[in-house]
Structures are given as C-alpha cells and as structure tokens.
Amino acid sequence: MDNLGAPGNKMSTSAIATKSDDSHDEAAMATYLREGEQRAHALANHGPIRFDADGTLHADILDAYWGTGFYIFEGVLGADERADIEADLFDILERLPTKRGSPVDAKGRPALAADCRAPTLFWSKPLGDPLGGTDLANGRHPVKMAEPRPEPDAPEEIVFVILGSLQFSEACLRVYGHPGLLAVAAQINGEDFVPFNEALFIKEPGRGASVAWHQDGVTHWGSPNWDEGTHGFNFMAQLYGCTAANGVWVVPGTHKLGKVDIAAMVAEAGSVRLPDAVPIICAPGDVAICNRQTVHGSFANTSPDWRVTVNFGFHRRASVLDVKGGGIHNAPAVYDAERIRQRSRLIGYAIDARRQRFPDETPFVHKPFVETGQCFKWNTAAKADLEDYNLLDLSI
Ligand SMILES: O=C(O)CCC(=O)C(=O)O
C-alpha cells in the first residue's frame, strides 16, 4: 500500500480542489460506476493463477498485466483462509483505540499499535479524503476527491488503513506466504524479488475514506533505466470482494507513461470521475495485482458493502538495492543489502506460518534463502520479532 504520509503534515497551499459541486452529483456517479463496470467486463484481465509446464506464468496473464497494469487472480483464497482473516479482522477492529491517540480500546485494554514506533494507524473523517490535495506522501495525491456527508451517527474519525499489518494478523501473514502469489512475484520482479510494505485497507460501508488518484513511486521517475516495472506492484487480496463503488480504480496503461499529470487529467475530465478509469471488481478470495505506477485510487465508500483488502507489495531487487528511499512510510535511508536481508525475513516467516496452517500445500521456495542458507521458523520468537517490522519497509 502506498498512500500515506507522516501524520500532521499541513495542507498544500497549491492544492487543487475538485469541483466538488459536480462530484457530489449522485446521478453522475451512478452512471460512472455503471460505465466503469462495463469497461472492466470488456478487459480480458482476470482468471486463475496459471503457469505453463516450464513454470512460466501464462503468457495471457503476463500480456494482460503488462498491457493494462493490473490483473485479477480469481479464487486464490479459499473459505477456510477467508474465515481466518475475518476472525483476525474482528479482533483488530475490537482492539482499535477508541479515538486517535487513545491508549485504550473500547474495553479499556491497551489499544492495537499503541506501543508501536512505526506508523501504523491512519485516520480519516468518515467518507473523507485525508490525502487528496495535501502535501502528505510527497504530495502524490494532487486532487481532492468528493467527500460525501456521512450519517449523523458516524464517529468523528475512523481508521481506514493499518500499516505493518502482518504483526497484527497471522492470517494476513499466511496470505503473504501464498505459494502461487509468491511465484507470480518471482515472475514479475525476478527470483530475487524483495518486499515493499503491507497494509490492511478497511473500507466500511458509509464510512470508508477515499484514496485520491495517485501513482505510487517516489524515486526513479527521471532515471534512464526507468521502465514499466520499476516501482513494482501491490497484491490486493479481497476478503469480501470489491465493487465499482468500494474498490480501487485504475487508468489502464498509465504505468508505461512515466510521471503523469493527474491534476491535468482531472481538469480535462471536469471532475474526479476520470473517463478511462476501470474498477477492479473481485469476488471474495480474489487477489488483484496492480502495478504501482498506474494512476489509481478509490472513492469514499457510500455503498452498503465492506471492502477489506490485504495489501502487500514487492519490488525488483535492483530497484531497491543501494537506492535512497523512504520518507513516506519510514525514515529516509539508503537500502543496502543488509537491510533488504532483514526486511525479507517476513517472506521466510510467512512461508513457514503458511506451511503450518496448510500442510498439504507445496510451500514456495525463495531463491535468495536457498543461496544464503537461511531457514525461517514461525514460532513465538518470530512473532516477537515482528514488532515494528515496518520500520524497515523498502519504500521507493
Ligand atoms: O485500496 C485502496 O483504496 C487504495 C490502494 C492503493 O492506493 C495502493 O495500494 O497503492
């Protein structure tokens, strides 16, 4: 996930406001959602994870992914796994602080993440857009989305994203170790692929916040070696599925264009309803892969449906090694081989956690672990080792 900035940053004086009168137009939005669904159905970019006999990801998938910038892997997470995620989700929701900054949850217990040093919980007013038109996250969200009015009984603020999420949910950690998804990561980013970060997106009906249009990368845009895969991708695993109304929208092909002028796109469209954008529509258990360079975003969730996304990204090692990154998800730093090795332990823990829960699956083998003789065990000590692990996110 790739949207957040240090809390407390101020609004940009140069922020570009949307013509919100138009964007609040419910009829126009309903038409937009319907037309977006039609555009989504016309794209041949969904199906099960498929490999050829030689282990190569099926050419149709590679073509569709590199052509549009996203692909939906259908039926990746079964009912058992989704039930595990849901149980963890309920636990997380119960343990959230009563309000921003509160050390306790509604039952008076120490709140989730209360003692974390790394950025974890991100708050918004219900149906708000905390990022659009601000300087947060390097100002990557230049345009404010529409902010519909929530019901009067809505709380003042809600949590809409949780970073470092694998420390709060073993079920999410096990999704991170999914052999099919990690094999896809190896095909797209190379066998020595490395982590980016992980997040849980919670888009509650009638409350879930917008994530304004943006491209994710903050480095490399001007690099002579830049290409359509430089900033890696995010997997977006759907617990309950997602619709045009509550899901992420992508402007297909924008991952190939370099840095795009999003404000100009919105100005040309005359609203935040970008005319070429397509919603990622998923059934429960589907997992989308989304190129981080695409122009993408999501609208406030005015629909009656929850969207819960287990979001986790991977990079090419070459995009990260000895590169100065950070500043958005953690402190700026040069990402040397030792940091990459340290951060990659999450892949090792995830593979072993998954092996223990799903013993009939063939676990993924991560080539760098074989080459360096590293072996990971998911146990109590490993669990303790996850605290604040996202201080080492590889954020480019
Ligand atoms: O899930 C969302 O609404 C936004 C996800 C996103 O922007 C990202 O993963 O970069």
Fold classification of 20-392 (topology level): Jelly Rolls (2.60.120)
Mean pLDDT of 138-164: 95
Q: How far apart are CA 109 and CA 103, in angstroms?
A: 8
Q: Which helix (H) or strand (E) holds 244?
A: none
Instruction: Give me the pLDDT at residue 2, please.
Output: 47
Mean pLDDT of 227-232: 98
Q: Domain locations in the chain?
A: 20-392
What's the chain's average pLDDT? Answer: 93
Whole-number Å distance, alpha carbon 1 to ligand 1 midpoint, is 6
Global confidence as pTM = 0.93
Instruction: Give me the pLDDT at residue 387, please.
Output: 97
Instruction: Give me the pLDDT at residue 18, please.
Output: 37
Whole-number Å distance, alpha carbon 161 to ligand 1 midpoint, is 9
Q: Could you identify the atom of ligand 1 that is nearest to the CA of residue 234?
A: 9
Q: How far apart are CA 247 and CA 208, in angstroms?
A: 11
Query: Does residue 246 register a pLDDT over 70?
Result: yes
Q: How far apart are CA 134 and CA 137, in angstroms?
A: 8
Residues in the chain, total: 396
Whole-number Å distance, alpha carbon 142 to ligand 1 midpoint, is 15
Instruction: Give me the pLDDT at residue 372, please.
Output: 96
- Kindly report, residue by residue over 34-65, the tens digit of the pLDDT: 999 999 999 989 999 999 999 999 999 999 99
Q: How far apart are CA 87 and CA 308, in angstroms?
A: 13
Instruction: Give me the pLDDT at residue 6, please.
Output: 31
Query: Does residue 23 register a pLDDT over 80?
Result: no
Whole-number Å distance, alpha carbon 121 to ligand 1 midpoint, is 15
Whole-number Å distance, alpha carbon 45 to ligand 1 midpoint, is 19
What share of the chain has pLDDT > 90, as a percent? 89
Return the best residue to mutate from 246, 290, 301, 328 for the ligand 1 pocket (most ligand atoms within 8 A of CB): 290
- Residue whose C-alpha is closest to residue 227's, from 159, 356, 316, 352: 316
Q: DSSP H helical segments within the chain, as ranges?
A: 20-23, 26-42, 59-68, 79-95, 136-139, 170-176, 179-189, 262-269, 317-320, 337-357, 367-372, 380-384
- Find the residues whose C-beta lies inside 6 A of ligand 1: 1-3, 201, 211, 216, 234, 248, 296, 298, 309, 311
Mean pLDDT of 252-278: 97
Among 7-16, 17-26, 107-116, name the most confident range.
107-116
Mean pLDDT of 117-145: 93
What share of the chain has pLDDT > 70, as a percent? 94
Q: Which helix (H) or strand (E) holds 307?
A: strand 307-315
Instruction: Provide the residue type at 377 as one letter.
Output: K
Query: Any idea which residue has 């345009």 for tokens?
Result: 143
- Kindly report, residue by residue over 314-365, the tens digit of the pLDDT: 999 999 999 999 778 788 899 999 999 999 999 999 999 999 999 999 999 9
Mean pLDDT of 4-31: 49
Position with higher pLDDT, 8 vs 369: 369
Q: Could you identify the atom of ligand 1 that is nearest to the CA of residue 313?
A: 9
